Chain A
């Protein structure tokens, strides 16, 4: 039996640079990725959306602050509101926070240095469409590469997010950027939108150091396929 390959959009902003890596990884994990230019006012009929890493609009003003006004982002917001699966990686996470689709904001790393190395993240929730292939509290080795990955929420917001179980990934032991509560990834209250700083698309083949990122992207592909089969 040939498994259905769900279509997943990868939105390309001026300055995105991980769009093709995300496309390759999604394709290798059983999806049919579709590149969507940021100026498109509508998304094709897809079952998931990935906002890739990069430096959209040159990171001008604040990371992700300008990308959220792209026509495609209005379509992504509608898609998310209808329960569509949206994954933001690195710059994609920054965009989702600036757009108000995810809580908090990404600030410059405490060290002020651009960091590019493997980190270990702990999976805090395995009941999301993005982590269902993971074991509870599984440690994943996935690379980061960012200058502004220090996720911040004030105490009131953080305690609300902890209560609502919206913290999905935490740095395990070594927090590279100084994020509050060691947060590496958060989701929205409904759980259909996730943002994370590490790059799962760079860790889908053990030949390149780690295959752990595949658990996250393959979870998304599984969930997207189920949505196609369920007719949503």
Chain B
């Protein structure tokens, strides 16, 4: 099974990387109202049951992939 995890800075959390990129895009002439920088984790793993896989992925996010004090995560599980 394959899954893609998106980790983002939580809303309201200052994101200096996003701000720097926003300002650089403005310098290039793009009209930008906001930029936030997160992280993508592509996972390839063995699992039979999608529901079980989803639970496992949530535990991976909670225990390691995201620091939930400052980051939110989104799991996209490819079941096909």
Contact = CB atoms under 8 A, between A and B. Distances in A.
Q: A and B from one assembly?
A: yes
Interface of A: 61-62, 65, 98, 104-105, 107-112, 152-154, 157, 178
Interface string B47-80: 0000000000000000011010110000000000
Interface string B14-28: 101100100000000
A108 B9 CA distance: 12
A203 B16 CA distance: 30
Interface of B: 13-14, 16-17, 20, 64-65, 67, 69-70
A69 to B, nearest CB: 8
Nearest to B64: A65
Contacts, number: 29
24 contacts: A61-B64, A61-B65, A62-B67, A65-B64, A65-B67, A98-B67, A105-B67, A105-B70, A107-B13, A107-B14, A107-B70, A108-B16, A110-B16, A111-B16, A112-B16, A112-B17, A112-B20, A152-B13, A152-B69, A152-B70, A153-B69, A154-B69, A157-B69, A178-B14
Contacts of B16: 108-112
Contacts of A157: 69
B70 A108 contact: no
A178 B13 CA distance: 12
